[in-house]
Amino acid sequence: MANPPISVWNPATEDQIAEVHSFTRDEVTSAIAKAEAAQRLWRLLPIAERQAFLFAVADIVDRHRDELAALESRDVGKPIRAARAEVAGVASCFRYYAGALDKSHGDTISLDDGVSLTFHEPIGVVGIITPWNFPLPIASWNIAPALAAGNSVIVKPATLTPLSTHRLGELIAGITPIDGLFQVVTGAGSTVGAALIEDPRVGKISFTGSTEVGRSILRSSADTMKRVTLELGGKSANVVFADADVAAAAAAAPWAVFDNSGQDCCARSRILVQRSVLDDFIDGFVAATKALRIGAPDSTDTDLGPLVSAEHRETVAGFLDPGLDYLYRGEAPEGRGHWMAPHIVLDPSAKSRAAVEEVFGPVAVVIPFDTEEEAVALANDSIYGLSGSIWTRDVARSLRVARQIESGTLSVNSNSSIRVQTPFGGVKQSGMGRELGLEGLLNYSELKTVYLKTDV
């Protein structure tokens, strides 16, 4: 029996903008069978043909950049400027892995009685489950290396924001050399996601989302011994030392936490500031935050759009205890839309829910510290370890502190976490495995060792 379609809503207007098909478990099972057959053919194609296909995907994304960005903007509530930049990044990701495809080499290991060769073999069928906050970019970080490694791919986008990924599937279907090589299956995680996770023909699951759901996927994947990559929650620290360019750190801090309206697992929502420069930092941070423009996502003047849904806005609002010491509470637009303005809290104890838990909204907590040792201890006082920043002019300190902070990705005098050329991922309960860079390509392959005896 068919499932009812998925209604898709614009978070800025609360209007329904589309309906998409909700796959049944039987339909997902059929998609897996197609993907399995496609992968057997795909892995045997000459490297040049596989590269040409990935370059063609990049080209078609470029040609449809405005269309894909508009879908992303309306679906997520993302400002159109950000959406266009993200779609450009999707094309760059496919080009990177097209170029990397023929550069994944094994090793030759000399032995006393022979030689061993190692090969990076494809896993088979890969299931990719993507989040609602950055639908296309995060999908591309996994689709491109998975295809480059010789796998077939099935993507399940979030039910809140499926439109851009669904459209990407249509565009790729028009140029794919093998039917079933890349498929998009839309529907609830309890049906579509579970079908991918439980089917033994799916060799790997990549999931981006909450730590709670990640734990559940890890447990469910154990029955079939699936390979799993998990990119989960974060509560990243932004550490500002007194010897830093404090004005630059303060000016950059709003984008580190409020970009995408704070709906970012890399958000530097814990801002640790050395006490001697606390007042100067706060003055600059509040001034830069006040300059952010909140409004209609389709305007090129907009910096921050709405939150993704009424339910999520209610969740974020639950962190805004009236008893907190607010340094700044912005004003959101009135009327329809799931709006929430930035909030900045001072919490010297670092014990409030806003200071400890992942908010996933426009809430920043400023926490003072005195010594380098205290800063490291505060940064590490979290179950998460995804990203973070260190602001200092002392190169030795930057490396010393970076080596001590428990995080998968750190930036010095910058708030940037993501580059297609470098690996990205978390430690502790922020996940396992790595996306992007050449490590992202290896993450979608199995290592095979072949021994040749020569003393015969």
Q: Which of 27, 72, 231, 358 is catalytic?
A: 231
In the predicted model, residues of the chain with pLDDT beneath 70 are none
Q: Residue 206 corresponds to which amino acid?
A: S
pLDDT for 247 equals: 98
Closest CA to 358 of 257, 456, 446, 239: 257
CA angle 418, 77, 17 (to 5 degrees): 130
| Mean pLDDT of all residues belonging to the chain | 97
CA atoms of 412 and 399, how far apart (whole Å): 9
pLDDT of residue 370: 98
| Chain centre to alpha carbon of residue 356 | 21
Exposed / middle / buried, residue 401 (Cβ in 10 Å: 0-12, 13-18, 19+): buried
Question: Which phi and psi angles does 279 have, rounded to 5°?
Answer: -65, -45
CB-CB contact of 306 with 132 (8 Å): no
Q: Which domains does the chain have, with CATH numbers?
A: 6-232+430-453 (3.40.605.10), 237-419 (3.40.309.10)
User: Quick one: which of 37, 260, 45, 32 has its CA closest to 127?
Assistant: 32
CA separation for the pair 386, 424 (Å, rounded): 9
Q: How far apart are CA 300 and CA 360, in angstroms?
A: 24
Three-state SS at 260: helix
Q: Is 231 a catalytic residue?
A: yes
**Adjacent-strand bridge partners of 121:** 446
Cα-Cα-Cα-Cα dihedral of 283, 286, 292, 294, to 10°?
A: -160
Distances (CA, A) of 314 to 1, 134, 309, 317, 359: 34, 20, 9, 5, 11
For residue 319, the model assigns a pLDDT of 97
- CA dihedral (195, 198, 201, 205) in degrees, to 10, reads 90
pLDDT digits (tens, 9 = 90+) for 319-366: 999 999 999 999 999 999 999 999 999 999 999 999 999 999 999 999
Q: What is the pLDDT of residues 5-33, one digit of tens each?
A: 999 999 999 999 999 999 999 999 999 99
- In the prediction, which pLDDT does 122 show? 97
First to last CA, the chain: 63
Q: Are strands 227-231 and 431-432 parallel, antiparallel or unpaired?
A: antiparallel
Cβ atoms of 125 and 39 within 8 Å: the answer is: yes
- For residue 22, give the nearest of 39, 37, 8, 36 by alpha carbon: 8
Q: Which residues pair with 155 in a beta bridge?
A: 128, 184
Distance CA 271, CA 236 (A): 9
Instruction: Please tell me the number of Cα atoms within 13 Å of 150 on its side-chain side.
Output: 18
- Confidence (pLDDT) at 455: 84
pLDDT at 104: 84
Residues 6+ apart with CB under 8 A from 64: 167, 171
CA pair distance 329, 313, nearest whole angstrom: 15
Query: What HEC string does 70-129 produce?
Result: HHHHHHHCCCHHHHHHHHHHHHHHHHHHHHHHHHCCCCEEEECCEEEEEEEEECCEEEEE
